[in-house]
């Protein structure tokens, strides 16, 4: 069965990951489930979020979305990718890596489909967050883009 990508949600996931990395110095999510209506990201974390932190994360993601950043892709050598990124999820035998850039805010190896500009994403809303057994789960949905 073919995987159905959701470019708006997938691009929002990249932004959420970078907001989390910058705010908490944590790793990107280790698991994500991207759906059209609602998505989730799981992070290895030491505690739950405060309500104030959840608001700050939501605002941080929305600030980047509203920045109208261009989303681009580039192919780089495996050696260059290995110097810049965690490649533990990369399949064996790959010689080049596709990197998706969201302006100068985020760069990440990725095979998924993305929007061309962050203004196509729509408003980010954190639906809920929970913490259990060292895993922080963030659930989110998107409003319709204004463009």
CA atoms of 110 and 85, how far apart (whole Å): 11
Torsion of CA 23, 64, 106, 146, to 10 degrees: 140
Angle between helices 7-24 and 51-65 (to 10 degrees): 130
Query: For the whole model, what pTM was predicted?
Result: 0.93
- Alpha-carbon separation of residue 63 from 3, 16, 59, 68, 99 (angstroms): 29, 11, 6, 9, 22
Token digits of residue 66: 């509203």
**57 backbone dihedrals φ, ψ, rounded to 5°:** -65, -50
Q: What's the confidence (pLDDT) of residue 147?
A: 65
CA atoms of 67 and 70, how far apart (whole Å): 9
CA atoms of 45 and 133, how far apart (whole Å): 9
**37 backbone dihedrals φ, ψ, rounded to 5°:** -90, -40
Q: Which domains does the chain have, with CATH numbers?
A: 7-142 (3.30.980.10)
- Residue 92 CB: number of other CB atoms within 10 A? 4
Q: What's the confidence (pLDDT) of residue 26?
A: 96
119, 145 contact by CB (below 8 A): yes
pLDDT in tens, the chain (147 residues): 345 669 999 999 999 999 999 999 999 999 999 999 999 999 999 999 999 999 999 999 999 999 999 999 999 999 999 999 988 888 888 889 999 999 999 999 998 999 999 999 999 999 999 999 999 999 999 999 876
Nearest to 31 by CA among 128, 124, 103, 139: 139
Q: What's the confidence (pLDDT) of residue 81?
A: 92
């Amino acid at each position: 069965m073919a995987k159905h990508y959701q470019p708006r949600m997938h691009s929002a996931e990249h932004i959420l990951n970078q907001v989390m990395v910058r705010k908490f110095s944590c790793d990107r999510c280790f698991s994500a489930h991207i759906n059209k209506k609602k998505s989730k990201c799981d992070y290895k974390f030491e505690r739950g979020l405060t309500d104030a932190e959840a608001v700050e994360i939501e605002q941080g993601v929305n600030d980047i979305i509203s920045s109208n950043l261009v989303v681009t892709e580039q192919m780089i050598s495996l050696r260059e990718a290995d110097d810049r990124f965690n490649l533990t999820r990369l399949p064996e035998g790959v010689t080049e890596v596709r990197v998706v850039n969201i302006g100068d805010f985020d760069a990440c190896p990725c095979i998924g489909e993305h929007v061309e500009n962050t203004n196509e994403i729509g408003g980010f809303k954190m639906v809920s967050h929970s913490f259990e057994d060292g895993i922080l789960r963030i659930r989110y949905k998107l409003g319709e883009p204004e463009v």
